[in-house]
């Protein structure tokens, strides 16, 4: 924050609450949230203090937006900008596709990054994204062109949605995972499509789906 002005106790309390609210909820509070939490007499008093914090460089505010508050760092840059995740390739929601790379290299150079909700990396750590091709997971509300958020993992529980690597075929697919004896059933979430059955030693879990980012348009 590019300012030398000393904060009053009330304004410091407002800033602390805004930061705590964003940390917990992933979005800024409303003026009424601030009024209630900081025990301020009216929303107009909150508005007055927010205008002063904006003037002094502690935050940016859009009064016409209910949650239009953005905290700033010492250089005046957004403090709580959404984290971004690398999209490292495409994944088949249908017939398996050839290999993708979750470690970067060629695949990561051909794709983009995308914003993710702040709570996802906080809860799951390192994540990567895969663009979905096909509609085998449509009943799980994952459509062609969506991006699935994947947590790297070598293990999965029954029924979890996974990135499965078929070793002999050298192909990857997005399906629900079921271990049935010495066989794995990779189940689509589409009643018109059949599951894929493989020997368990031919299937390698590469990650678990922990979120989805919808395509636009």
Bigger pLDDT: 100 or 197? 197
pLDDT in tens, 34-76: 999 999 999 999 999 999 999 999 999 988 877 889 898 887 8
The token pair at 169 is: 């075929």
Q: So what's the pLDDT on residue 75?
A: 75
Q: Which of 136, 151, 176, 208 is catalytic?
A: 136
Neighbours of 98 (CB within 10 A): 11
- Class in CATH terms, 9-71: mainly alpha
93: DSSP letter: S
Q: So what's the pLDDT on residue 216?
A: 62
Domain positions in the chain are 9-71, 84-213
- Report whether 187 contacts 175 (CB < 8 A): yes
Q: Tell me if the pTM is above 0.85.
A: no
- Report whether 71 contacts 11 (CB < 8 A): no
- Mean pLDDT of all residues in the chain? 86
pLDDT in tens, 115-174: 787 778 878 888 999 999 999 999 999 999 999 999 999 999 999 999 999 999 889 999
6 catalytic? Reply is no
175 catalytic? Reply is yes
Q: Domain 84-213 carries which CATH code?
A: 2.10.109.10
């Amino acid at each position: 924050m590019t300012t030398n002005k000393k904060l009053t106790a009330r304004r410091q309390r407002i800033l602390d609450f805004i930061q705590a609210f964003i940390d917990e909820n992933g979005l800024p509070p409303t003026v009424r949230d601030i009024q209630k939490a900081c025990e301020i007499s009216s929303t107009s008093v909150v508005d007055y203090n927010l205008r002063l914090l904006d003037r002094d460089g502690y935050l940016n505010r859009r009064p016409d937006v209910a949650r239009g508050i953005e905290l700033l760092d010492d250089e005046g840059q957004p403090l709580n900008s959404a984290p971004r995740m690398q999209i490292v390739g495409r994944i088949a929601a249908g017939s398996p596709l050839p290999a993708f790379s979750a470690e970067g290299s060629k695949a990561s150079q051909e794709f983009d990054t995308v914003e993710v909700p702040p709570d996802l990396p906080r809860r799951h750590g390192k994540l990567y994204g895969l663009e979905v091709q096909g509609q085998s997971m449509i009943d799980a509300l994952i459509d062609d062109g969506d991006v699935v958020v994947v947590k790297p993992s070598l293990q999965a529980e029954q029924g979890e949605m996974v990135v499965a690597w078929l070793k002999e075929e050298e192909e990857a697919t997005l399906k629900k995972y079921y271990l049935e004896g010495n066989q794995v059933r990779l189940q689509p979430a589409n009643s018109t499509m059949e599951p894929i059955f493989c020997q368990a030693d031919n299937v390698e879990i590469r990650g678990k789906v922990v979120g989805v980012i919808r395509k636009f348009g």
